[in-house]
Chain A
């Protein structure tokens, strides 16, 4: 895919909203357009792989497997980011990402992206700011998930009147 097409494609993703044009171009120059088919594993637990993805279509589920079960923690889709931890040095993936619906994405090599951030601080800051946003909303959502708000009430809940 030509660079101009990549820039156009990248521009449509919410991640780069508000970015300076030169930063978008810089990011596009590191992008590779990728596609994953249904059920493909984008990365596995323990992978040292360092790709950061911007998703344009389809959906991905984050899973942790154990004792013969796969716990599905969160799904991500169009307009979202996957693999932000690639931006941190040598962080092995803690879970796996499996494709639910065929995915089209732009992939960025984490190491290369990090180097570009080191060299161009303004660019680095713009990327880091956005990643912070991603992590923040991911954390917030995870915390809310932890609350298990729809769980049935436990017996003997505090303040419960006697039967």
Chain B
């Protein structure tokens, strides 16, 4: 007789030991389990063993150019919001060797590449992060060409999503329509209810693999009141979001504002450090470097993250196309919010706000977009705009 799997889409309840059971089940299935954990002054995503490694009681203070981890008395495991890490580093690694080759007389031979990493399970994927993974899927898994590095790591990924019950001042997922609750793209999704008299998770399977894992741990159907509590917690998080990005006509606006003086203004603040591109969960630009040994017998081609903020990013013989900081900031913002739409059918931005937090001078993407829109409105009022 076949044991019935928990139905996909039905809400169940699990407790902390059961959550540890989920970890164990994933390990048994051969997944390397990656999740949030505290390391020094920040929360990072790294290999973890169980609930004990999760950042229990941690929240953070986040604002433009500010990130301070705070440990409180609370019991919540997922009370923090977003860390400088995103899941991008595992799917689209910052450094990967494309191949090694060895000289053989006048020719060369490509050597075996190391095998791809084992299948991974991500614990604690926020709705905006699920959206970011979906955005990168559209970029790197194309029709004609697929990025084999991304493909190898994306295939067989097990995603345990978490619906946020707190927001940070830097969040604006409600504007980019990437806000919780997560609707799809996960194997399991959790909403934490941590209070003085209970610490449970409302859990839902989003796939067959998710249902199979859930089947292996103690679970029971959630009561209507528990479901309502979870919905209320998520709603409270969304309602507390203060930053807004007006996306109406944003693409056209940015195309029109190519020569707007605002770009000069932000250029005076922007250090072109590229932090934003590193923490952004959707930025995908890379470069390829060749390195060889002194005798030039052994060479390796390494792919590394690159940033459109670097001066030689757009270099062609004779010079770089985008020399000024202004043109490089404009390139980044316009790509994220406008040309990305033409290229991949959606915004490149998922409203996670990391670029705002991690900009050393606190440049705010929502503020820049609003300023450009304000300039457009002034122009319309003066009859200058077409």
A68 within 8 A of B: no
B311 within 8 A of A: yes
When chains A and B are docked, how far (Å) is the Cα of A124 from the Cα of B296?
74
Q: A159–B317 contact, CB under 8 A?
A: no
A121 within 8 A of B: no
Q: Which chain A residue shows the least CB distance to B318?
A: A153
Q: B312–A161 contact, CB under 8 A?
A: yes
B18 within 8 A of A: no
List of A residues within 8 angstroms of B318 by Cβ:
153-154, 157
Interface string of A109-153 (1 = CB under 8 A from B): 000000000000000000000000000000000000000000001
Q: B317–A161 contact, CB under 8 A?
A: no
Q: Which chain A residue shows the least CB distance to B322?
A: A159
A18 within 8 A of B: no
List of B residues within 8 angstroms of A158 by Cβ:
319-320, 323
Q: A157–B312 contact, CB under 8 A?
A: no
Q: Which chain A residue shows the least CB distance to B315?
A: A159
* Nearest CB in chain B: distance from A151 CB, A: 9
* Nearest CB in chain B: distance from A149 CB, A: 10
Give the A-B contact count at a CB cut-off of 8 A: 23
Q: Which chain A residue shows the least CB distance to B287?
A: A161
When chains A and B are docked, how far (Å) is the Cα of A4 from the Cα of B312?
66
Q: Which chain B residue shows the least CB distance to A159?
A: B320
List of B residues within 8 angstroms of A159 by Cβ:
311-312, 314-315, 319-320, 323
Chain B's interface size range is under 10
List of B residues within 8 angstroms of A160 by Cβ:
312, 315, 319-320
When chains A and B are docked, how far (Å) is the Cα of A154 from the Cα of B320?
13
Q: A153–B317 contact, CB under 8 A?
A: yes
When chains A and B are docked, how far (Å) is the Cα of A158 from the Cα of B316?
10
Q: Is the interface of B mostly helix, strand, loop or mixed?
A: loop
Q: By CB atoms of chain A within 10 A, which of B318, B319, B320, B323 has the most? A: B318
Which residues A16-59 have CB closer than 8 A to chain B? none
List of A residues within 8 angstroms of B323 by Cβ:
158-159
Which residues B283-313 have CB closer than 8 A to chain A? 311-312
Interface string of B152-178 (1 = CB under 8 A from A): 000000000000000000000000000
When chains A and B are docked, how far (Å) is the Cα of A161 from the Cα of B319?
10
Q: Which chain B residue shows the least CB distance to A157?
A: B319
* Nearest CB in chain A: distance from B100 CB, A: 22
List of A residues within 8 angstroms of B319 by Cβ:
153, 157-160
Q: Which chain A residue shows the least CB distance to B314?
A: A159
Q: Which chain A residue shows the least CB distance to B317?
A: A153
When chains A and B are docked, how far (Å) is the Cα of A153 from the Cα of B311?
17
List of B residues within 8 angstroms of A161 by Cβ:
312, 315
When chains A and B are docked, how far (Å) is the Cα of A161 from the Cα of B312?
6
When chains A and B are docked, how far (Å) is the Cα of A39 from the Cα of B114?
72
When chains A and B are docked, how far (Å) is the Cα of A157 from the Cα of B315?
10
List of B residues within 8 angstroms of A154 by Cβ:
318
Interface string of A54-66 (1 = CB under 8 A from B): 0000000000000
When chains A and B are docked, how far (Å) is the Cα of A159 from the Cα of B316?
9
List of A residues within 8 angstroms of B314 by Cβ:
159
When chains A and B are docked, how far (Å) is the Cα of A159 from the Cα of B328?
13
When chains A and B are docked, how far (Å) is the Cα of A71 from the Cα of B318?
26
Q: Which chain B residue shows the least CB distance to A161?
A: B312
When chains A and B are docked, how far (Å) is the Cα of A159 from the Cα of B314?
8
* Nearest CB in chain A: distance from B83 CB, A: 32
* Nearest CB in chain B: distance from A117 CB, A: 43
When chains A and B are docked, how far (Å) is the Cα of A159 from the Cα of B318?
9
* Nearest CB in chain B: distance from A146 CB, A: 16
List of B residues within 8 angstroms of A157 by Cβ:
317-319
List of A residues within 8 angstroms of B320 by Cβ:
158-160
When chains A and B are docked, how far (Å) is the Cα of A159 from the Cα of B323?
7
When chains A and B are docked, how far (Å) is the Cα of A153 from the Cα of B323?
16
List of A residues within 8 angstroms of B312 by Cβ:
159-161
* Nearest CB in chain A: distance from B374 CB, A: 32
Where the two chains meet, the residues of A that have a C-beta atom closer than 8 Å to any C-beta of B are: 153-154, 157-161
Q: List 18 extra interface pairs beyond A160-B315, A160-B319, CB under 8 A.
A: A153-B317, A153-B318, A154-B318, A157-B317, A157-B318, A157-B319, A158-B319, A158-B320, A158-B323, A159-B311, A159-B312, A159-B314, A159-B319, A159-B323, A160-B312, A160-B320, A161-B312, A161-B315
17 sample A-B contacts, Cβ–Cβ < 8 Å, listed by A number = A153-B317, A153-B318, A153-B319, A154-B318, A157-B317, A157-B319, A158-B319, A158-B320, A159-B311, A159-B312, A159-B314, A159-B315, A159-B323, A160-B312, A160-B315, A160-B319, A161-B312
Closest 6 CB pairs of A and B: A159-B320, A161-B312, A153-B318, A153-B317, A157-B319, A158-B319
